[in-house]
Amino acid sequence: MDVATEVLDLTVNGEQRRFAAPLTVAGLVSALALDLRKVAVELNREIVPRSTYGQVWLARGDSLEIVHFIGGG
């Protein structure tokens, strides 16, 4: 099987999304066009430290939450 055609099915913020494997958290944030300085990421309910985004590889079925700050009281 050609590595380049492998797909990665993830749940991101509750949505089913398909990406090309292999993919790190940094790659995912970039693929989603998000500014990685302004978000926080939880992978399977564990916080992913920003300093490790480039080293954390995602696997099929992973569930992620990507959050940011919004207005609130």
* Closest distance to other proteins from the beta carbon of 1 (Å): 28
Compute the distance between CA of residue 33 and CA of residue 10 in angstroms, rounded to an integer: 16
Compute the distance between CA of residue 35 and CA of residue 37 in angstroms, rounded to an integer: 5
Compute the distance between CA of residue 14 and CA of residue 71 in angstroms, rounded to an integer: 22
Q: Which is nearer to other proteins, 24 or 65 (CB)?
A: 65
Judged by DSSP in three states, 27 sits in helix
Q: Within positions 30 to 49, which residues make up the interface with other proteins, using CB under 8 A?
A: 32-35, 38-42, 45, 47-49
Q: Which is nearer to other proteins, 4 or 18 (CB)?
A: 18
Q: Which is nearer to other proteins, 5 or 16 (CB)?
A: 16
